[in-house]
Amino acid sequence: MDINIRDMEDELNGILKRFYYAKRYKEAKGRILSFISEKKVKGKVRAKAKLFLGRCYYYLGEYKKALLFLKDREVRRYYRELSRVWILRVLDRLD
């Protein structure tokens, strides 16, 4: 079964719009985790989901979990600069 990357990206963007950008980070976290585990999404869309999951953990004060996702190989591959910026933000909170 082929996965339409555009549909996956649209679904993720919908989750982000409804929950993350509405500052409903706990709900966003749950929805993104489900999205990652239930969908056979790969590449840049999966990396984006993990990036925003790390950002949710940051805003929820779960800094060590945030680092796990922000340092993820896929995230750093596709979003190197954003990953770096958010990792620095997390490390600043851990000091």
Give pLDDT tens digits for 51-90. Answer: 999 999 999 999 999 999 999 999 999 999 999 999 999 9
Q: Are 44 and 28 in contact (CB under 8 A)?
A: no
Instruction: Give the per-residue pLDDT at 5.
Output: 83
pLDDT at 40: 79
Task: Indicate the burial class of 41 (C-beta count within 10 angstroms; 0-12, 13-18, 19 or more).
Answer: buried
User: Residue 1's pLDDT is what?
Assistant: 37
